[in-house]
Structure 1
């Protein structure tokens, strides 16, 4: 299966490109990024011919769509809607990084396009492919009643550690290009939540990229979210608390924020009358850094168990599942329609807080 990578930034260099090279039956056929130095250096590093290195997604699709099977879209989120519309319309199977889009309107448009396309469309929520997450879904089958759910995600500054771990190619882009891209992103964020406030738009920008993982992970465990009972943002929107109510009846306290801490902390805790289950995620940019599941149970005596999977990479398992979906062997676990609902929900947290 021949892949093109559209958008060759940090997550593409750390995860997606190496995984395409390592997974059997996947081949890296083309690279696309506006920074020519990135596609040139990565092309040399991974043996992608000069004629298959592109700076513009439209040109890649026009010239190479017939020679490709699939694309992985890892461009900045403000470009997802336009790029994914082109790839799906061209009949290319598409794995797109989260979030699906910046505005609910664009996300809804992509959901319609995906429903009409014969191509497979899947959103890259890699946390859903952690072995410990799958183990949690199995453990929940034995839980008769859930008292409460807590989801907590507070980011550290990952950029401080990445240069010491990976040999990343930094893009060389002119100031005018970067300014146009930043302006477009800011305007989409404002449109998404109906504000003219730059600070609030910046907070939505952060929260959308940050908490969509948690929203989707919760959706995979408990189904659709029926209501949001309460929302409270502090620090100009960069830390928030929300009370979510799922259609299945579970209630969740969601805490999401940015921090100056040195450590990353992200977990889902489920309290039942006779047990507590805690799924904990580690640094999201470190390969083979698997999530762990801890279970404590017992009414008369306490039994502790920790499930620490073998070091399988969730991004690689995600790619393998995507390829199985393309071949018609499996159903898409993270469809565009659910990712659309995630964008709508996160935007609604901000609009509800403004009311």
Structure 2
């Protein structure tokens, strides 16, 4: 299977490129990144014959040569690149979120439905052995009282600097300004605001909690209503009460902090037990998620599960390869990813008092 790598930033360097190189069925045939120093250095490192600075040029010139692409570019480019790849007949793995705006997410879904190429979204937590065990334990619960999801990641830049020797792309100021302007414009369009701070908030929280919104979808189903939303401390914190199928309430907390520790967890409370998963730092390889079950009303027992040290990023890429080979179907579909974008946009639209666009609209 010949693959093109589109985007060679931090997560591509830490996870995608080395794990693609480890999968026996995969040949990394082409690589694109706007930083010429990045694309050339990494192409030499991984023996990639075709190097590009323009992502669409890679798709256009290599579509007859490639079987698929892995897209790990900034989120404001995901939709257009995924659509271009799918229209070229290439199997497409696109990092989360699938798009910034609900409208662009819908465009990707429509394109995927009209092609024979597979499309899979990079929600690696759904391929985490710890999450899969957590989902089984939640499925065993007859009555759920409350779910809670907390997402307060650390200063990722400091973590990466301390852990990896990454190649920083040399990009001119005009390119960076245009990229950030496109991101801000899409964020504003997604939630219908001209408030720059709120648009910035949406962009941050979209990137931060889409994993967890999708993980909640995997165990609780769809959100049917949004009871309450607050965005405060400038743009840094969001809290919400979501209502899922069966009238189940979920408390959601998302934040931004300069702290160095990772705080990302989901807990499901039942009358006689709680089941929780604490996700490890997503940028540190092979660190298992912490899955705990506490039981008892008269006496208490606690069980800690560590199903595997397998890396979720590698497992999702292996699953993508199986999908391309016809041996599996995507677990993280573009349709679910579209609903995730709609829900996160609706949190901000609800806060602003605008009409909702997703399943929670009434």
For the 8 Å contact 1:130–1:314, the answer to whether it is kept is yes
SS of 1:221 mapped into structure 2: helix
For the 8 Å contact 1:153–1:256, the answer to whether it is kept is yes
Aligned counterpart, 1:8: 8
Aligned counterpart, 1:129: 127
Does 2:117 correspond to 1:119? yes
* Displacement of 1:140: 2.1
For the 8 Å contact 1:2–1:69, the answer to whether it is kept is yes
Distance in 1 between residues matched to 2:27 and 2:256, nearest whole Å: 37
Q: 1:249 to 1:322 in 2, by over 3 A?
A: farther
Does 2:18 correspond to 1:18? yes
* Displacement of 1:248: 3.7
Question: Aligned to 2:300, which of 282, 302, 305?
Answer: 302
CA deviation profile, 1:309-331 (whole Å, cap 9, x unmatched): 33100000101111111122222
Aligned counterpart, 1:193: 191
5+ long unaligned stretches in structure 2: 354-362
Distance in 2 between residues matched to 1:248 and 1:2, nearest whole Å: 45
Distance in 2 between residues matched to 1:195 and 1:274, nearest whole Å: 44
Which stretch shifts more, 312-321 or 298-307?
298-307
Please provide the CA RMSD for this pair. Answer: 1.0
For the 8 Å contact 1:277–1:293, the answer to whether it is kept is yes
For the 8 Å contact 1:277–1:295, the answer to whether it is kept is yes
* Displacement of 1:303: 1.3
Distance in 2 between residues matched to 1:67 and 1:260, nearest whole Å: 44
Does 2:269 correspond to 1:271? yes
Aligned counterpart, 1:207: 205
SS of 1:66 mapped into structure 2: coil
Question: Aligned to 2:235, which of 223, 234, 237?
Answer: 237
Matches within 5 A, 1:73-92: 73-92=71-90
CA deviation profile, 1:59-93 (whole Å, cap 9, x unmatched): 11121111111100001011111111100000100
Matches within 5 A, 1:283-294: 283-294=281-292
Distance in 2 between residues matched to 1:232 and 1:59, nearest whole Å: 43
5+ long unaligned stretches in structure 1: none
Aligned counterpart, 1:35: 35
CA deviation profile, 1:188-208 (whole Å, cap 9, x unmatched): 111111111111111111001
Query: How many residues end up aligned between the 2 structures?
Result: 353
For the 8 Å contact 1:290–1:314, the answer to whether it is kept is no
For the 8 Å contact 2:277–2:289, the answer to whether it is kept is yes
Aligned counterpart, 2:244: 246
* Displacement of 1:164: 2.5
Question: Aligned to 1:324, which of 322, 325, 338?
Answer: 322
Distance in 1 between residues matched to 2:140 and 2:34, nearest whole Å: 50
SS of 2:24 mapped into structure 1: coil
Distance in 1 between residues matched to 2:121 and 2:246, nearest whole Å: 24
* Displacement of 1:349: 0.5
For the 8 Å contact 1:222–1:248, the answer to whether it is kept is no
